[in-house]
Structure 1
């Protein structure tokens, strides 16, 4: 039961953060701008013309980004539920398909689908445009210069010949830490959220079946799914929990270590599946890895004993004038540890996906967008061979990364709950060994 509660808590935290995260790709629809020197963009190409040339960077960013639907094939999508709230306008719900598809976009209550993510018309569009339903001719991308002289990508929805500025996708911090202040909040089920919920459901079903197996086979050899999962359980207990946390405290944290390990593992494996229910880049989303790292840090630091906090806030055994400097360093360490967890998992998973997609892109690059059949064939041979190799590496990484995350989390917990007497015990044992060594060999005396 404790394991199930931890899984549900973990998924709620990650799900909300991911649903509110801004995974906004830089896909360019072909519209370009120049600057007039007054902080505004001057449009060079008017209308909704699209550049059909292959852009590897845009395609890769589009595939690793989160989205409000699953793309089965180009132009055929599986919609996901939308839960959108705008202050003063209320709640808007439905499926993502209500905002149209790649060929026929719609604006509903001011919400527009912009390259897989929901944006909303800025408040300057007026109440008339922020309610009801309108056909969207196209989404225009422009690069503008703000008052500070910095370039910023902006998007406009063209409706009835007029261009309306779009707010960025909703973010958990309300836009205060980047992306600008948004005029709505997005609690929708995205690809990443759907995959996390699916992973949580499978974990609950899996460990419920394992628990029933232990009750049914009490005192007997394991069988069925129990025999499959027991090696994982024993390995994580004997190689991570006990060595890192200690035999006295490990049982308290073992469910959490198991939850973190299998949650990351399942999400990684789903990310290797190129079709539904896979294809979501969950652990390659910085919001998800941040949530996991923050939870791990909270679990470790909340259980930190007086000995741990004493060493962090006022290091014993050092001169008083050095203690403030060490306190700053130790406090920074409390922040750096979860930050390293977050970046390590995110960077490894994202890098693997980018490499695979880059290898696949060789087919289109060598083929010069279909103009060279032999080039495409050569790119296919090279791309497929290396992609198969990279998929094997990715499968290995899918297992290695949750192990690293779990073992580092356990080490942080172990450092927080380690008892002072335990250290003296170790020192005493070393002294006894040294005395015995001197007694057995006078040369060392």
Structure 2
């Protein structure tokens, strides 16, 4: 346990020390006063840049100095082979490196592209982006929490829970008694408990970390549709693999439905088959849309300060009071949404498992 604590300490110190030495915007050209005056605030770009994934982790900005933590860029090109380098070589997206650059507009905006014969080509990209690093951090935190709790149970067998035990145990019991058992059944619920606990705590922790504006938070993990798609695919695969004969029979030949809805046009079987795929699709979109919408609303209120500030500095200061109040309110609401979305995803997954394993009556 001491080794785990030391690893976490070194890990987070590294995250906060590296930006100081490796992220100064030394290569950025100083902008003239006329450029600053003509440059207009674009709320759309401001919002999308903050909720999108990136190849570096912004820490803070002071004037033209941007402190960021560079992350590894790992790409494979069909034309030039395998490449691995730090994102600091892009100098905040202002320059190219080894033929690669970050697209500033178009279909691949914000992504690494390679210029081939004057055209932007997307290489095979397995880079360590901000969302990837944020997921690794959340996994380290979850491992630390549950390994600590497991060891505490071993040392204090038969005693009342203390510390992290007293926080985690009621949540685990709630998921077991209020989600798994009612939705799946008393006989088979234990088989799915590890997965249900994993997705609940993973989604909840990343939702909360996404609300923290500084390291190691600030990444929009659960607001990335590719990540929610993978989580939904896990539920889909587990449901399909563990489904019994009654489940598949119900899809192919739904009982209680008039024959003319099955023959000659298999209307109901088609609807049931579509339902198999729409269930994980709903899981994916619900989590993605709710988390992304919350971030966008908060950033929209922040954008109002700069929009009105361009009209008049006094108007910007006056708007800031109202905007900050709404941002605080939305953040309080997002704390509740973070928990609710983790609960809903876990509950729906348990319901799908129960539907797939329920015996025909």
Q: TM-score, normalised by structure 2?
A: 0.83
Alignment of 1:15-30 (within 5 A): none
**Who is 2:4 aligned against?**
none
1:149-180 alpha-carbon deviations (Å, 9 max, x no partner): xxxxxxxxxxxxxxxx433xxxxxxxxxxxxx
Equivalent of 1:330 in 266, 272, 277? 272
Structure 2 match to 1:305: 244
Matched, 1:123 2:129: no
Aligned to 2:225: 286
* Bigger Rg over Cα: 1
Counterpart position of 2:80 = 89
Could you tell me how far apart the structure 2 residues matched to 1:95 and 1:340 are? 37
- Post-superposition offset of 1:73: 2.5
Out of 147, 160, 177, the residue aligned to residue 238 of structure 1 is 177
Q: CA, structure 1 residues 351+318, in 2 after alignment: closer, same or farther (shift >3 Å)? A: closer
Where 1:106 maps in the other structure, the secondary structure is coil
| Partners of 2:98 and 2:343 in 1: CA distance | 45
Aligned residues of 1:363 and 1:376 also touching (Cα < 8 A): yes
Q: How does 1:43-442 map to 2 (within 5 A)?
A: 52-74=39-61, 75-101=66-92, 105-115=94-104, 117-125=110-118, 165-167=119-121, 182=122, 184-323=123-262, 324-368=266-310, 372-420=312-360, 423=361
Instruction: Provide the secondary structure at the position in 1 that maps to 2:95.
Output: strand
SS in 2 for 1:210: helix
Gaps of 5+ in 1: 1-47, 126-164, 168-181, 424-445
Residues 208-249 of structure 1: per-residue CA shift (max 9 Å, x gap): 111112222222222222222100100111110001011101
Using the TM superposition, name which of 81-90 and 63-72 deviates more: 81-90
- In structure 1, what is the equivalent of residue 32 of structure 2? none
Preserved contact between residue 207 and residue 221 of structure 2 (Cα < 8 Å) = yes
With normalisation by structure 1, the TM-score equals 0.68
Distance 1:85 1:216 in 2: 49
Once residues 50 and 249 of structure 1 are traced to their aligned partners in structure 2, the CA distance between those partners, rounded to angstroms, is 66
Shift of 1:304: 0.4
Judge conservation of contact 1:111–1:118 (CA < 8 Å) in 2. no
Query: Which structure dedicates a bigger proportion of its chain to helix?
Result: 2
Query: Is contact 1:365-1:376 (8 Å) kept?
Result: yes
Q: Using the alignment, how far apart are the partners of 1:68 and 1:417 within structure 2?
A: 43
Q: 1:295 deviation in Å? A: 0.9
Higher-strand-fraction structure: 1
Confirm or deny: 8 A CA contact 1:364 1:379 kept in the other structure: no
Cα drift, residue 112 of structure 1: 0.7
**C-alpha distance in structure 2 between counterparts of 1:356 and 1:224, whole Å:** 34
Q: Distance in 2 between matches of 1:220 and 1:71?
A: 45
When the two chains are superposed, the root-mean-square deviation of aligned CA atoms in Å is 1.9
Distance 1:316 1:278 in 2: 50
CA distance in 2: counterparts of 1:222 and 1:76, whole angstroms: 43
Which secondary structure state, in structure 1, belongs to the residue aligned with residue 96 of structure 2?
strand
Shift of 1:86: 0.6
Deviation at 1:337, TM superposition (A): 0.7
